[in-house]
Amino acid sequence: MFEKVLVANRGEIALRILRACREMGIQTVAVHSTADEDAMHVRLADESICIGPPAAKDSYLNIQAILTAATISNSEAIHPGYGFLSENADFAGMVVEHGFTFIGPSPEHIRLMGDKITAKDAVAKAGIPVVPGSDGPVKDEKEALKVADTIGYPVLIKAAAGGGGRGMKVANTAEELPNAIRMASAEAESAFGNGEVYLEKYLDHPRHIEIQILADMHGNVVHLGERDCSLQRRHQKILEEAPSPALNHNQRDEIGRIACAAIKKIGYHNVGTIEFLYEDGNFYFIEMNTRLQVEHPVTEMICGLDLVREMIRVSAGTPLGYTQDDIKFSGHAIECRINAENPETFAPRPGRVGDYHAPGGLGVRVDSALYSGYKVPPHYDSLISKLIVHGSNRNECLMRLRRALGEYVIDEMETTIPLHQRLIANPDFVNGDYDIHWLEKFVNKE
Binding residues vs ligand MV4 (CB under 6 A): 131, 156, 163, 165, 200-203, 208, 232, 235, 277, 286-287, 436
CB atoms within 10 A of CB 106: 19
Phi, psi at 430, each rounded to 5°: -60, -35
Q: Which of 291, 313, 394, 400 is catalytic?
A: 291
| Residue number with CB closer to ligand MV4 (286 or 413) | 286
For the chain, report the end-to-end CA distance as a whole number of angstroms. 52
> Would you say 333 and 298 are in contact if contact means Cβ atoms under 8 Å apart?
yes
Nearest distance from residue 152's CB to ligand MV4, in Å? Answer: 12
User: What are the DSSP E strand ranges found in 80-220?
Assistant: 101-102, 155-159, 169-171, 197-201, 207-215
Is 182 considered catalytic here?
Answer: no
Secondary structure class of 49 (helix, strand, coil):
strand
Contacts of 134 (CB under 8 A, 6+ apart): 143, 144, 147, 198, 199, 200
Beta strands of 245-347 (E only): which ranges?
A: 270-279, 282-289, 332-339
CB 202 within 8 A of CB 277: no
Choice between 202 and 283, CB closer to ligand MV4: 202
Least gap, CB of 201 to ligand MV4 (angstroms): 6
The b-or-e profile of 245-266 (16+ CB within 10 A means b, else e) is bbbeeebbeebbebbbebbbeb
Q: How far is the CB of 428 from ligand MV4 (least distance, A)?
A: 16
Tell which residue, 333, 328, 287, has the closest CA to residue 163. Answer: 287
Cis peptide before 343 (omega within 30 of 0): no
Distance (Å, whole) CA 161 – CA 346 = 27
Closest to ligand MV4 by CB, 49 or 229: 229
* Whether the Cβ atoms of residue 28 and residue 5 lie closer than 8 Å to each other: yes
Active site residues: 291
